[in-house]
Structure 1
Amino acid sequence: MSEFVVGDRAVFLPASGTLVVADLHVGRDEASDVEVPLGERADLRDRLAASLDRFSPAEVVFAGDVLHSFGRASAATETSLNGLTAACRDRGARPVLVAGNHDTMLSSVWDGPVHDEYRLVGKPGDDSGGGGEESEVLVCHGHEDPDGVADCYVVGHDHPTITIEGRRRPCVLYGPGTYRSGDVLMLPAFNRLAPGVEVNGMRTRDFQSPLVTDADALRPLVYDDAADEALRFPPLGKLRRLL
Protein backbone atom coordinates (compact mmCIF):
# COMPACT_ATOMS: atom_id res chain seq x y z
CA MET A 1 0.00 0.00 0.00
CA SER A 2 1.30 3.47 -0.84
CA GLU A 3 2.19 5.55 2.15
CA PHE A 4 -0.57 8.01 2.97
CA VAL A 5 -1.30 10.62 5.60
CA VAL A 6 -4.86 11.39 6.67
CA GLY A 7 -5.65 15.08 7.00
CA ASP A 8 -8.79 17.16 7.41
CA ARG A 9 -11.18 15.35 5.03
CA ALA A 10 -8.20 14.74 2.77
CA VAL A 11 -5.38 12.29 2.10
CA PHE A 12 -1.79 13.13 1.21
CA LEU A 13 0.38 10.66 -0.72
CA PRO A 14 4.01 11.68 -0.08
CA ALA A 15 5.59 9.50 -2.77
CA SER A 16 3.92 11.48 -5.55
CA GLY A 17 3.49 14.71 -3.58
CA THR A 18 -0.26 14.55 -4.15
CA LEU A 19 -3.10 15.84 -2.00
CA VAL A 20 -6.48 14.26 -2.76
CA VAL A 21 -9.86 15.70 -1.76
CA ALA A 22 -13.24 14.40 -2.91
CA ASP A 23 -16.84 15.55 -3.08
CA LEU A 24 -16.32 19.30 -2.83
CA HIS A 25 -19.88 19.80 -4.11
CA VAL A 26 -19.18 23.44 -4.92
CA GLY A 27 -22.52 25.24 -4.98
CA ARG A 28 -24.10 23.02 -2.34
CA ASP A 29 -25.04 26.12 -0.34
CA GLU A 30 -27.07 27.46 -3.26
CA ALA A 31 -29.19 24.31 -3.18
CA SER A 32 -29.96 24.77 0.53
CA ASP A 33 -33.33 26.25 1.44
CA VAL A 34 -32.00 28.93 3.77
CA GLU A 35 -32.09 32.72 3.70
CA VAL A 36 -28.74 33.27 5.43
CA PRO A 37 -25.60 32.43 3.41
CA LEU A 38 -23.86 29.34 4.74
CA GLY A 39 -20.28 30.49 4.10
CA GLU A 40 -19.40 27.56 1.86
CA ARG A 41 -16.94 29.43 -0.34
CA ALA A 42 -14.73 30.69 2.50
CA ASP A 43 -14.92 27.38 4.37
CA LEU A 44 -13.81 25.32 1.38
CA ARG A 45 -11.05 27.75 0.44
CA ASP A 46 -9.71 28.17 3.98
CA ARG A 47 -9.62 24.45 4.77
CA LEU A 48 -8.03 23.62 1.42
CA ALA A 49 -5.44 26.34 2.02
CA ALA A 50 -4.69 24.85 5.45
CA SER A 51 -4.05 21.42 3.90
CA LEU A 52 -1.89 22.99 1.20
CA ASP A 53 0.18 24.78 3.82
CA ARG A 54 0.51 21.61 5.88
CA PHE A 55 1.55 19.22 3.12
CA SER A 56 3.05 21.48 0.39
CA PRO A 57 1.88 19.13 -2.39
CA ALA A 58 3.05 19.29 -5.99
CA GLU A 59 -0.50 18.64 -7.18
CA VAL A 60 -4.02 18.50 -5.78
CA VAL A 61 -6.51 16.02 -7.23
CA PHE A 62 -10.20 16.86 -6.83
CA ALA A 63 -11.64 13.34 -6.94
CA GLY A 64 -15.06 13.92 -8.41
CA ASP A 65 -18.33 15.64 -7.58
CA VAL A 66 -16.41 18.88 -7.79
CA LEU A 67 -19.75 20.60 -8.43
CA HIS A 68 -23.06 19.97 -6.73
CA SER A 69 -25.69 20.87 -9.31
CA PHE A 70 -26.32 18.51 -12.21
CA GLY A 71 -28.16 21.04 -14.34
CA ARG A 72 -26.42 24.42 -14.08
CA ALA A 73 -23.25 26.05 -12.88
CA SER A 74 -23.85 29.56 -11.55
CA ALA A 75 -21.45 32.48 -11.62
CA ALA A 76 -20.99 32.02 -7.86
CA THR A 77 -20.03 28.37 -8.40
CA GLU A 78 -17.48 29.35 -11.04
CA THR A 79 -16.02 31.99 -8.72
CA SER A 80 -15.78 29.46 -5.88
CA LEU A 81 -14.04 26.89 -8.07
CA ASN A 82 -11.63 29.52 -9.40
CA GLY A 83 -10.78 30.44 -5.82
CA LEU A 84 -9.95 26.83 -4.98
CA THR A 85 -7.75 26.27 -8.03
CA ALA A 86 -6.07 29.65 -7.46
CA ALA A 87 -5.26 28.63 -3.88
CA CYS A 88 -3.49 25.57 -5.30
CA ARG A 89 -1.51 27.53 -7.87
CA ASP A 90 -0.59 30.25 -5.39
CA ARG A 91 1.21 27.56 -3.37
CA GLY A 92 2.88 25.93 -6.34
CA ALA A 93 0.45 22.99 -6.62
CA ARG A 94 -1.15 21.93 -9.89
CA PRO A 95 -4.92 21.38 -9.66
CA VAL A 96 -6.18 18.19 -11.34
CA LEU A 97 -9.93 17.65 -11.75
CA VAL A 98 -11.54 14.21 -11.93
CA ALA A 99 -15.20 13.96 -12.91
CA GLY A 100 -17.88 12.46 -10.68
CA ASN A 101 -21.49 11.70 -11.37
CA HIS A 102 -22.50 15.27 -10.41
CA ASP A 103 -20.05 16.91 -12.81
CA THR A 104 -22.12 17.19 -15.97
CA MET A 105 -21.48 20.97 -16.09
CA LEU A 106 -17.86 20.96 -14.96
CA SER A 107 -16.42 21.80 -18.39
CA SER A 108 -18.53 24.97 -18.48
CA VAL A 109 -16.66 26.47 -15.51
CA TRP A 110 -13.24 24.79 -15.91
CA ASP A 111 -11.14 25.23 -19.04
CA GLY A 112 -8.56 22.60 -18.16
CA PRO A 113 -8.72 18.84 -18.77
CA VAL A 114 -11.29 16.77 -16.90
CA HIS A 115 -10.18 13.22 -16.17
CA ASP A 116 -12.35 10.14 -15.68
CA GLU A 117 -9.51 8.68 -13.62
CA TYR A 118 -6.00 9.89 -12.80
CA ARG A 119 -2.96 7.70 -12.25
CA LEU A 120 -0.15 8.41 -9.77
CA VAL A 121 3.13 6.52 -9.50
CA GLY A 122 5.02 6.39 -6.24
CA LYS A 123 6.84 4.24 -3.74
CA PRO A 124 4.60 2.40 -1.29
CA GLY A 125 4.69 1.66 2.35
CA ASP A 126 1.68 1.77 4.60
CA ASP A 127 -0.14 4.45 6.56
CA SER A 128 2.59 4.31 9.21
CA GLY A 129 5.35 5.05 6.71
CA GLY A 130 6.87 1.74 5.58
CA GLY A 131 8.80 1.23 2.37
CA GLY A 132 8.56 -1.05 -0.62
CA GLU A 133 8.64 -1.33 -4.38
CA GLU A 134 7.08 1.09 -6.81
CA SER A 135 3.29 1.24 -6.58
CA GLU A 136 0.59 2.69 -8.80
CA VAL A 137 -2.32 4.66 -7.40
CA LEU A 138 -5.48 5.40 -9.35
CA VAL A 139 -7.72 8.27 -8.30
CA CYS A 140 -11.33 8.14 -9.48
CA HIS A 141 -14.65 9.24 -8.07
CA GLY A 142 -15.85 5.75 -7.26
CA HIS A 143 -19.38 5.86 -8.69
CA GLU A 144 -18.45 3.29 -11.32
CA ASP A 145 -15.73 0.73 -11.92
CA PRO A 146 -12.57 2.36 -13.30
CA ASP A 147 -10.99 1.22 -16.54
CA GLY A 148 -7.51 1.11 -15.05
CA VAL A 149 -5.93 -1.40 -12.68
CA ALA A 150 -3.72 -0.25 -9.81
CA ASP A 151 -2.27 -1.22 -6.47
CA CYS A 152 -4.45 1.34 -4.71
CA TYR A 153 -7.69 3.12 -5.61
CA VAL A 154 -8.48 6.49 -4.01
CA VAL A 155 -12.18 7.34 -4.27
CA GLY A 156 -15.00 9.35 -2.75
CA HIS A 157 -18.71 9.17 -3.60
CA ASP A 158 -20.26 7.65 -0.45
CA HIS A 159 -19.35 10.45 2.02
CA PRO A 160 -18.42 8.11 4.92
CA THR A 161 -18.86 9.19 8.55
CA ILE A 162 -18.70 7.20 11.76
CA THR A 163 -20.34 7.66 15.14
CA ILE A 164 -18.09 6.98 18.13
CA GLU A 165 -19.29 7.66 21.69
CA GLY A 166 -22.24 9.64 20.39
CA ARG A 167 -20.18 11.90 18.13
CA ARG A 168 -20.46 11.64 14.37
CA ARG A 169 -17.28 12.39 12.47
CA PRO A 170 -16.06 12.17 8.86
CA CYS A 171 -13.72 9.26 8.24
CA VAL A 172 -11.48 7.73 5.62
CA LEU A 173 -12.17 4.05 4.97
CA TYR A 174 -9.12 1.90 4.23
CA GLY A 175 -9.69 -1.54 2.70
CA PRO A 176 -6.43 -3.44 2.02
CA GLY A 177 -6.68 -5.78 -0.95
CA THR A 178 -10.43 -5.41 -1.29
CA TYR A 179 -10.83 -4.35 -4.95
CA ARG A 180 -9.15 -6.22 -7.83
CA SER A 181 -6.54 -7.29 -5.23
CA GLY A 182 -5.71 -3.61 -4.71
CA ASP A 183 -6.28 -1.40 -1.69
CA VAL A 184 -9.12 1.11 -1.44
CA LEU A 185 -9.06 4.49 0.25
CA MET A 186 -12.50 6.09 0.41
CA LEU A 187 -12.49 9.76 1.40
CA PRO A 188 -15.24 11.67 3.20
CA ALA A 189 -16.90 14.66 1.55
CA PHE A 190 -14.65 17.71 1.69
CA ASN A 191 -17.72 19.97 1.75
CA ARG A 192 -19.05 20.04 5.30
CA LEU A 193 -22.55 20.86 4.00
CA ALA A 194 -22.73 17.57 2.09
CA PRO A 195 -24.57 15.00 4.21
CA GLY A 196 -22.50 12.01 5.19
CA VAL A 197 -23.63 8.43 5.57
CA GLU A 198 -23.05 6.69 8.90
CA VAL A 199 -21.03 3.56 8.17
CA ASN A 200 -21.31 1.92 11.61
CA GLY A 201 -23.97 -0.54 10.54
CA MET A 202 -23.48 -0.54 6.77
CA ARG A 203 -22.97 -3.76 4.83
CA THR A 204 -21.39 -4.11 1.42
CA ARG A 205 -24.75 -3.81 -0.33
CA ASP A 206 -25.44 -0.50 1.43
CA PHE A 207 -22.54 1.31 -0.24
CA GLN A 208 -23.16 2.99 -3.58
CA SER A 209 -19.60 2.58 -4.86
CA PRO A 210 -18.89 -0.68 -6.71
CA LEU A 211 -15.32 -0.48 -5.39
CA VAL A 212 -16.63 -1.54 -1.97
CA THR A 213 -16.63 -5.32 -2.19
CA ASP A 214 -16.15 -6.21 1.49
CA ALA A 215 -17.46 -3.63 3.93
CA ASP A 216 -16.43 -5.73 6.92
CA ALA A 217 -12.77 -5.25 5.95
CA LEU A 218 -12.93 -1.44 5.79
CA ARG A 219 -10.97 0.22 8.58
CA PRO A 220 -12.17 3.72 9.62
CA LEU A 221 -9.47 6.36 10.05
CA VAL A 222 -10.63 9.56 11.77
CA TYR A 223 -8.58 12.74 11.68
CA ASP A 224 -8.12 14.26 15.14
CA ASP A 225 -7.30 17.92 14.61
CA ALA A 226 -6.27 18.43 18.23
CA ALA A 227 -3.60 15.73 17.99
CA ASP A 228 -3.00 16.30 14.25
CA GLU A 229 -3.12 12.58 13.58
CA ALA A 230 -5.45 9.84 12.41
CA LEU A 231 -7.23 7.70 14.96
CA ARG A 232 -7.33 4.08 13.74
CA PHE A 233 -10.34 1.90 14.45
CA PRO A 234 -10.85 -1.83 13.86
CA PRO A 235 -12.42 -2.94 10.57
CA LEU A 236 -16.19 -2.44 10.43
CA GLY A 237 -16.90 -6.16 10.78
CA LYS A 238 -15.19 -6.17 14.17
CA LEU A 239 -16.15 -2.65 15.17
CA ARG A 240 -19.88 -3.43 14.98
CA ARG A 241 -19.45 -5.99 17.74
CA LEU A 242 -17.67 -3.47 19.95
CA LEU A 243 -20.11 -0.58 19.66
Structure 2
Amino acid sequence: MVAFRDRALSLPVADALVLADLHVGRAAASPVEFPLGERDDLEERLDALLAATSPGTVVLAGDVLHAFDRVPDGARGTVAALARLVETAGADLVVTPGNHDTMLDAVWDGPTEREYELADGTVVLHGHDPPERAAGRYVVGHDHPKLTVEGRDWPCLLYGEGVYEGADVFVLPAFTRLASGVSVNGRPGRASLERSPLVTDVDRFRPVVYDSAADEQRTFPPLGRLRRLR
Protein backbone atom coordinates (compact mmCIF):
# COMPACT_ATOMS: atom_id res chain seq x y z
CA MET A 1 0.00 0.00 0.00
CA VAL A 2 1.41 3.39 -1.00
CA ALA A 3 -0.03 6.90 -0.87
CA PHE A 4 0.76 9.88 -3.09
CA ARG A 5 0.66 13.18 -1.27
CA ASP A 6 2.10 16.64 -2.03
CA ARG A 7 4.61 15.57 -4.75
CA ALA A 8 5.88 12.76 -2.51
CA LEU A 9 5.26 9.04 -2.02
CA SER A 10 4.50 7.55 1.37
CA LEU A 11 5.23 3.84 1.77
CA PRO A 12 3.78 2.86 5.19
CA VAL A 13 4.87 -0.79 5.03
CA ALA A 14 8.47 0.37 4.47
CA ASP A 15 8.02 3.17 7.05
CA ALA A 16 9.38 5.59 4.43
CA LEU A 17 8.72 8.84 2.60
CA VAL A 18 10.32 9.47 -0.79
CA LEU A 19 10.62 12.76 -2.67
CA ALA A 20 12.72 13.71 -5.67
CA ASP A 21 14.09 16.66 -7.58
CA LEU A 22 14.25 19.40 -4.98
CA HIS A 23 16.60 21.37 -7.26
CA VAL A 24 17.79 23.55 -4.40
CA GLY A 25 19.27 26.71 -5.90
CA ARG A 26 16.73 26.84 -8.72
CA ALA A 27 15.55 30.22 -7.43
CA ALA A 28 19.10 31.62 -7.57
CA ALA A 29 19.34 30.52 -11.21
CA SER A 30 16.09 32.27 -12.09
CA PRO A 31 16.14 35.62 -13.94
CA VAL A 32 13.36 36.83 -11.62
CA GLU A 33 14.56 39.75 -9.49
CA PHE A 34 12.28 39.32 -6.45
CA PRO A 35 12.62 36.48 -3.87
CA LEU A 36 10.80 33.27 -4.86
CA GLY A 37 10.60 31.81 -1.35
CA GLU A 38 12.30 28.55 -2.32
CA ARG A 39 13.59 27.60 1.13
CA ASP A 40 10.39 28.47 3.01
CA ASP A 41 8.27 26.52 0.55
CA LEU A 42 10.45 23.39 0.71
CA GLU A 43 10.63 23.51 4.51
CA GLU A 44 6.90 24.09 5.07
CA ARG A 45 5.82 21.34 2.72
CA LEU A 46 8.35 18.79 3.97
CA ASP A 47 7.38 19.59 7.57
CA ALA A 48 3.71 18.99 6.70
CA LEU A 49 4.53 15.66 5.03
CA LEU A 50 6.59 14.51 8.02
CA ALA A 51 3.72 15.37 10.38
CA ALA A 52 1.18 13.58 8.18
CA THR A 53 3.15 10.38 7.50
CA SER A 54 5.57 9.97 10.45
CA PRO A 55 8.19 8.02 8.44
CA GLY A 56 11.21 6.29 9.92
CA THR A 57 13.23 7.00 6.79
CA VAL A 58 13.13 9.87 4.29
CA VAL A 59 14.81 9.34 0.93
CA LEU A 60 15.67 12.19 -1.45
CA ALA A 61 15.70 10.48 -4.84
CA GLY A 62 18.22 12.69 -6.57
CA ASP A 63 18.72 16.17 -7.96
CA VAL A 64 18.86 17.70 -4.51
CA LEU A 65 20.82 20.53 -6.17
CA HIS A 66 19.97 22.40 -9.34
CA ALA A 67 23.33 23.65 -10.64
CA PHE A 68 25.95 21.21 -11.94
CA ASP A 69 29.06 23.34 -11.35
CA ARG A 70 28.46 25.58 -8.34
CA VAL A 71 26.64 25.83 -5.02
CA PRO A 72 24.60 29.04 -5.04
CA ASP A 73 24.16 31.28 -2.01
CA GLY A 74 21.73 29.79 0.46
CA ALA A 75 21.84 26.22 -0.86
CA ARG A 76 23.87 24.87 2.06
CA GLY A 77 21.51 26.49 4.54
CA THR A 78 18.46 25.11 2.78
CA VAL A 79 19.76 21.54 2.71
CA ALA A 80 20.83 21.80 6.36
CA ALA A 81 17.40 23.12 7.35
CA LEU A 82 15.65 20.23 5.58
CA ALA A 83 17.98 17.73 7.27
CA ARG A 84 17.16 19.26 10.67
CA LEU A 85 13.43 18.89 10.01
CA VAL A 86 13.89 15.19 9.26
CA GLU A 87 16.07 14.69 12.34
CA THR A 88 13.59 16.52 14.56
CA ALA A 89 10.82 14.26 13.24
CA GLY A 90 12.86 11.25 14.39
CA ALA A 91 13.60 9.97 10.90
CA ASP A 92 16.78 9.04 9.06
CA LEU A 93 17.67 10.95 5.89
CA VAL A 94 19.24 9.20 2.88
CA VAL A 95 20.17 10.69 -0.51
CA THR A 96 20.37 8.82 -3.80
CA PRO A 97 22.28 11.28 -6.04
CA GLY A 98 20.91 12.46 -9.37
CA ASN A 99 22.57 13.69 -12.54
CA HIS A 100 22.52 17.28 -11.20
CA ASP A 101 24.25 16.35 -7.95
CA THR A 102 27.88 16.72 -8.98
CA MET A 103 28.42 19.16 -6.07
CA LEU A 104 26.35 17.23 -3.52
CA ASP A 105 29.26 16.64 -1.13
CA ALA A 106 29.53 20.41 -0.65
CA VAL A 107 26.11 20.50 1.06
CA TRP A 108 25.54 16.96 2.38
CA ASP A 109 27.84 14.62 4.32
CA GLY A 110 25.21 12.11 5.41
CA PRO A 111 24.24 8.69 3.97
CA THR A 112 24.46 8.60 0.17
CA GLU A 113 23.71 5.54 -1.95
CA ARG A 114 23.24 5.22 -5.69
CA GLU A 115 20.34 2.85 -5.00
CA TYR A 116 18.65 2.53 -1.62
CA GLU A 117 16.57 -0.50 -0.67
CA LEU A 118 13.65 0.15 1.68
CA ALA A 119 12.46 -2.29 4.35
CA ASP A 120 9.81 -3.74 2.00
CA GLY A 121 12.29 -4.40 -0.83
CA THR A 122 11.42 -1.28 -2.85
CA VAL A 123 14.52 0.24 -4.46
CA VAL A 124 14.82 4.03 -4.69
CA LEU A 125 17.13 5.74 -7.18
CA HIS A 126 17.10 8.91 -9.24
CA GLY A 127 16.30 7.14 -12.51
CA HIS A 128 18.74 8.71 -14.98
CA ASP A 129 20.68 5.43 -15.20
CA PRO A 130 19.40 1.84 -15.24
CA PRO A 131 19.23 0.15 -11.83
CA GLU A 132 21.90 -2.36 -10.89
CA ARG A 133 19.83 -3.98 -8.16
CA ALA A 134 16.88 -6.25 -9.04
CA ALA A 135 13.62 -5.39 -7.29
CA GLY A 136 9.89 -5.87 -7.55
CA ARG A 137 9.30 -2.11 -7.29
CA TYR A 138 11.32 0.98 -8.13
CA VAL A 139 10.69 4.60 -7.12
CA VAL A 140 12.45 7.24 -9.23
CA GLY A 141 12.37 10.92 -10.12
CA HIS A 142 14.24 12.64 -12.95
CA ASP A 143 11.42 13.28 -15.45
CA HIS A 144 9.21 15.83 -13.57
CA PRO A 145 5.82 14.53 -14.87
CA LYS A 146 2.69 16.67 -14.83
CA LEU A 147 -0.82 16.22 -16.21
CA THR A 148 -2.34 19.10 -18.19
CA VAL A 149 -6.15 19.29 -18.01
CA GLU A 150 -8.08 22.19 -19.57
CA GLY A 151 -5.02 24.42 -19.41
CA ARG A 152 -4.22 23.64 -15.77
CA ASP A 153 -1.09 21.73 -14.78
CA TRP A 154 -1.15 19.07 -12.08
CA PRO A 155 2.14 17.55 -10.90
CA CYS A 156 1.52 13.82 -11.04
CA LEU A 157 2.91 10.50 -9.99
CA LEU A 158 3.22 7.94 -12.78
CA TYR A 159 2.55 4.32 -11.89
CA GLY A 160 3.53 1.52 -14.24
CA GLU A 161 2.65 -2.05 -13.27
CA GLY A 162 5.31 -4.54 -14.35
CA VAL A 163 6.80 -2.10 -16.85
CA TYR A 164 10.51 -2.58 -16.17
CA GLU A 165 11.68 -6.19 -16.48
CA GLY A 166 8.48 -7.23 -14.71
CA ALA A 167 8.88 -4.72 -11.87
CA ASP A 168 6.51 -1.88 -10.96
CA VAL A 169 7.81 1.66 -11.41
CA PHE A 170 6.69 4.87 -9.70
CA VAL A 171 7.93 8.13 -11.25
CA LEU A 172 7.68 11.10 -8.88
CA PRO A 173 7.10 14.70 -9.96
CA ALA A 174 9.63 17.35 -8.95
CA PHE A 175 9.19 18.29 -5.29
CA THR A 176 10.20 21.88 -6.04
CA ARG A 177 7.35 24.01 -7.32
CA LEU A 178 9.83 26.10 -9.33
CA ALA A 179 10.23 23.36 -11.97
CA SER A 180 7.68 23.66 -14.77
CA GLY A 181 7.39 19.90 -15.32
CA VAL A 182 6.83 17.81 -18.44
CA SER A 183 3.27 17.31 -19.67
CA VAL A 184 2.61 13.57 -19.99
CA ASN A 185 -0.69 13.61 -21.85
CA GLY A 186 0.63 14.99 -25.13
CA ARG A 187 3.21 14.04 -27.73
CA PRO A 188 5.99 16.35 -26.43
CA GLY A 189 5.69 14.78 -22.97
CA ARG A 190 5.93 11.29 -24.43
CA ALA A 191 9.28 11.96 -26.06
CA SER A 192 10.71 13.68 -23.00
CA LEU A 193 9.63 11.05 -20.49
CA GLU A 194 11.34 8.30 -22.41
CA ARG A 195 14.68 9.78 -21.32
CA SER A 196 14.59 7.50 -18.28
CA PRO A 197 15.68 3.90 -18.88
CA LEU A 198 12.97 2.76 -16.45
CA VAL A 199 10.23 4.32 -18.58
CA THR A 200 10.32 1.82 -21.43
CA ASP A 201 6.70 2.29 -22.52
CA VAL A 202 5.12 5.46 -21.15
CA ASP A 203 1.69 4.54 -22.56
CA ARG A 204 1.40 1.85 -19.86
CA PHE A 205 1.80 4.34 -16.99
CA ARG A 206 -1.19 5.69 -15.07
CA PRO A 207 -1.03 9.32 -13.87
CA VAL A 208 -1.99 9.85 -10.22
CA VAL A 209 -2.87 13.37 -9.03
CA TYR A 210 -3.10 14.51 -5.41
CA ASP A 211 -6.16 16.66 -4.71
CA SER A 212 -5.13 18.75 -1.71
CA ALA A 213 -8.62 20.19 -1.22
CA ALA A 214 -10.12 16.73 -0.78
CA ASP A 215 -6.92 15.22 0.66
CA GLU A 216 -7.11 12.27 -1.70
CA GLN A 217 -5.39 10.88 -4.76
CA ARG A 218 -7.10 10.52 -8.12
CA THR A 219 -5.94 7.84 -10.55
CA PHE A 220 -6.36 8.23 -14.33
CA PRO A 221 -6.38 5.62 -17.12
CA PRO A 222 -3.04 4.57 -18.66
CA LEU A 223 -1.56 7.33 -20.82
CA GLY A 224 -2.03 5.39 -24.06
CA ARG A 225 -5.77 5.31 -23.41
CA LEU A 226 -5.95 8.78 -21.86
CA ARG A 227 -4.55 10.42 -24.99
CA ARG A 228 -7.31 8.86 -27.10
CA LEU A 229 -9.94 10.44 -24.83
CA ARG A 230 -8.80 13.98 -25.70
- Give the drift of 1:114: 1.6
Match 1:115 to one of 113, 116, 121: 113
Aligned match of 1:173 = 158
Amino acid across the alignment from 2:210: Y
Equivalent residues of 2:57, 2:91 under 8 A apart: yes
Q: How far did residue 121 of structure 1 move?
A: 2.8
Structure 1 counterpart of 2:224, which letter?
G
Structure 2 residue corresponding to 1:155, chosen from 140, 149, 161: 140
Which residue identity is paired with 1:206? S
TM superposition shift of 1:165: 2.7
Supply the distance in 1 between the matched residues of 2:178 and 2:191 (Cα, whole angstroms): 25
Moved more, 4-13 or 203-212: 203-212
Runs of 4+ in 1 over 2 A off after TM superposition: 202-206
Q: Which residue of 1 aligns with 2:181?
A: 196
1:40 — aligned with what? 38
- In structure 1, list runs of 5 or more residues that go unmatched: 123-135
Separation in structure 2 between the aligned mates of residue 167 and residue 153 of structure 1, nearest angstrom: 29
Quote the residue 2:86 is aligned against: 88
Instruction: Provide the aligned C-alpha RMSD in A.
Output: 1.1
Residue of structure 1 aligned with 2:7, choices 9, 27, 48: 9
Cα distance in 2, alignment partners of residues 204 and 146 from structure 1: 21
2:104 aligned partner? 106
Q: Does 1:237 align with 2:220?
A: no
Amino acid of the structure 1 residue aligned with 2:66: H
Q: Which runs of 5+ in 2 are unaligned?
A: none
Alpha-carbon distance between aligned partners in 2 of 1:75 and 1:95, rounded to the nearest angstrom: 23
Aligned partners of 2:152 and 2:178: how far apart in 1? 17
SS in 2 for 1:15: helix
Query: Aligned letter for 1:235?
Result: P
In 1, Cα distance between equivalents of 2:130 and 2:191:
15
Using structure 2 for the length normalisation, give the TM-score.
Answer: 0.96
For the 8 Å contact 2:25–2:65, the answer to whether it is kept is yes
Aligned residues: 228
Measured against aligned partners, the alpha-carbon deviations of 1:31-81 in whole angstroms (never above 9, x if no partner) come to 001211100000000000010000011011000000001011134100000
- State yes or no: 1:97 paired with 2:95: yes
Contact 2:184–2:190 (Cα < 8 Å) also in 1: no
> What do residues 77-112 of structure 1 show as CA deviations (whole Å, max 9, x unaligned)?
000000111111111111111100000000111111
TM-score scaled by structure 1? 0.91
Equivalence for 2:204: 217
Amino acid aligned to 1:107: D
> In structure 2, what is the Cα distance between the partners aligned to 1:213 and 1:92?
37
How far apart are the structure 2 equivalents of 1:29 and 1:104?
Answer: 18
Q: For 1:161, give the aligned amino acid.
A: K
Task: Tell me the residue number matched to 2:67.
Answer: 69
Identity of aligned residues (%): 54
CA shift, 1:16, in A, is 1.1
Name the CA distance, whole Å, in 2 between partners of 1:211 and 1:205: 14
* C-alpha contact 1:160 1:173 (8 A) present in aligned 2: yes
